[in-house]
Amino acid sequence: MPVSYNNLWKLLIDKNMNKTDLKEAAGISFNVMARMGKNQTVSFESLEKICSVLKCDIGNVVEFVHEESAVDVVKKFTTIELFAGAGGLALGIEKAGFDTIGLIELDKAASDTLRCNRPNWRVINDDISNISCLNLEDYFAIEKGELDLLSGGAPCQAFSYAGKRLGLEDARGTLFYHYAKFLDQLQPKMFLFENVRGLLTHDKGRTYKTIIDIFESTGYTIQKKVLNAWDYGVAQKRERLITIGIRNDLVDKMHFDFPAPHKYKPILRDILLDCPKSEGSSYSAYKRDIFELVPPGGYWRDIPEEIAKAYMKSCWDMEGGRTGILRRLSLDEPSLTVLTSPSQKQTDRCHPLEPRPFTIRENARCQSFPDDWQFCGSVGQQYKQVGNAVPVNLAYDIAKNIRKALEEL
């Protein structure tokens, strides 16, 4: 008869423990934890050890289910996320039906955001270099090859290897090295690596080629595509480089297609008019008075020249359109790429109806976060978290297709 350990996992959440804590406290093996993670039977002795640590009865740990209910205890696809930020990518992946078993994030405020919204998630607030050197199978209580998806987008520092084909150890000191270490150790069935479009052309393409070469050396076949979030239910022009990997032994058993663009592309009118009020920055009185002169959809060229010239100072003599200066958005267009700071001279995004920057909640709407997703930390830290996030709806569409690929197995 099938068994379920759902009660045990809920009990761990109530006691603020994770699976590794339980394994160490009860003195049970990694294999026992792995079997329970798959809803398989374990020895009565192991159950007694668990009950002793948790001070509970066996009925609080395991339950038997009828065959017709067995579908209810089939585990979801599992994922671990690196460089998790405020959870935009993780939230979209969760929405697609994945069980997030671990997230690593260095920033304290972003980690607090994750814990606040998902107390059941195992959030690891630490430098990834302190984690990637561990035995990851033991740390996450998962066998090599068992994880379904590794996700995340490592910030890629500038480096150049002059197009040489280098191995994993040659990438030490870069953040994507730690991502590759997770791939090498855990061998997930698939991975999702998200980054800025500019990574494709950085150092004449050599940076991205080095990353791909190293990912391939850990045993993966790669697909890549630049996707614009505006095509996927996000009221924002935001292009991201999406790299998908399938483990080589599974390439002939499954296939992944990038999601097709939606027929309707949302604009600010769809998301701003009923947005909940929240904290946000403001312009100086001087800047606010100037923005009063800029029409929705306009920028510095749409106000008197002498006022624009006085505001722009040295920028006035620069070449190029400088369309980001004194830029006011329109309700009938999408947002420009949401940034980590609400007010920078050459990248203004003024509200269409009021002479002010977008609030935190308005930026979150532009990133397709749900209104009940709370951000922790100072106002500046919250702006940074929202600006760095992957749009939730974009993540969801990608993850849905990853799930379809995994279901083929």
Amino acid letter, residue 126 = D
Residue 375 has phi, psi (to 5 degrees) of: -110, 140
Structure letter (DSSP) for residue 194: E
Q: What are phi and psi of 164, to 5 degrees?
A: -70, 150
Q: Name beta bridge partners: 77.
A: 98
Tokens linked to 346: 């050459």
Residue 364 near residue 373, CB atoms below 8 Å:
yes
- State whether residue 139 is helix, strand or coil: helix
Give 345's contacts (C-beta < 8 A, 6+ positions apart). Answer: 315, 325
Reply yes or no on whether 275 is catalytic: no
- Tokens in use for 274? 């009923």
How many CB atoms are closer than 10 A to CB 29? 12
**What's the half-sphere exposure (Cβ side, CA atoms, 13 Å) at 128?**
26
| Distance in angstroms (rounded) separating the CA atoms of residues 86 and 72 | 30
Q: Coil, strand, or helix at residue 4?
A: strand
Is 142 in a helix, a strand, or coil?
coil
Q: CA–CA distance from 156 to each of 101, 177, 198, 344 (Å)?
A: 25, 10, 11, 23
Rounded Cα gap, residues 373 and 387, in angstroms: 15
33: Cβ–Cβ under 8 A, 6 or more apart, which residues? 19, 22, 23, 141
Q: Which of 56, 116, 133, 156 is catalytic?
A: 156
Cα gap 365→334, rounded to integer Å: 11
Cα–Cα distance measured from residue 206 to residue 102, given in angstroms and rounded to the nearest whole number: 31
Of 33, 44, 248, 246, residue with least CA distance to 139: 33
Among 30, 27, 24, 32, CA closest to 5: 32
Residues marked as catalytic = 156
